[in-house]
Amino acid sequence: MGKVLKSTESSVTQYDDLKRKLLELETKMSDQKKGKLENEKELEEIKKTITEEKKEKLEMEIEQAKLKEKLTVLETLVSEQKEEMAKIKTQTSSDQSQTEYEQTKLVCRTQLMEHYRSDVLKVSAIPLQPDEENYNFSDIYIRPTITNKIEKNRRESEEKEIESMSEIFTKNGEPQKFIYVVGDAGLVRVVSVNI
C-alpha cells in the first residue's frame, strides 16, 4: 500500500506539473497572439503610410510636370524672341534708330516675360495675408456664380444661372435697355428690367 500511495502522490505531482506547464504554454501562446495582432496593426499602418507617401509623390510629380510644361512654353517664347532679335541684328538697315528701337523693344519684351514668369504668374492664395509660398493664378481662381433675376411680375421673380455673357445683355435675342449688376464678393446677380 505504501507503494500505491507513493505512486499516487507521484502521479498527482506529475499532474500538477503538467497542468502548470500547460498554463504557462497557454499564457505564452496568448502573449504571442497579442504580439502578432500588434504586429499586424503596425504592418497595416506602415502600408497606409506608404500608400499616402506614394499619392503625395504622384501629386508632386504631376505638379512638377505642369511646371516643366509652363517653363517649356516660356523658353520657347524666349527663344523665338531671341531669334527675332538675331534677325533684326543681321538685317542691314539705313535707319539705325529704327533697328535700335526694335532691339530695345525686344529686350523690354524679354524682361517683361521674365518678370511675368517670376512675379506675376504666381500670387498669394490670400491677398490680404500674403504667405511665403505663391501659387499659380489659374490654380486659385474661382469663377463667380452669376444669376439672372427675371421678374415675372412685381411679386414673383425667378433666378437662372448665366452661362455666357451674352445672356446678360439680351433677352430672347433682344438687347436689354436697363441692366443692374449687384452682388457681394463671389456672387453676382443680374437684374434686367424691361420698361
pTM of the model: 0.28
pLDDT tens digits for range 68-120: 888 888 889 888 988 888 777 676 555 667 778 888 899 999 998 888 777 76
Q: Which among 189, 123, 122 is positioned nearest to 161, based on CA atoms?
A: 189
Cα–Cα distance for residue pair 73/83, rounded to 1 Å = 15
Is residue 4's pLDDT more than 70?
A: no
Is residue 174's pLDDT more than 90?
A: no
Residue 128 corresponds to which amino acid?
A: L
Q: How confident is the model at residue 43 (pLDDT cuts 50, 70, 90)?
A: confident
What's the pLDDT at 187? 65
How many CB atoms neighbour CB 190 within 10 A?
Answer: 21
- 155: CB partners within 8 A, 6+ apart: none
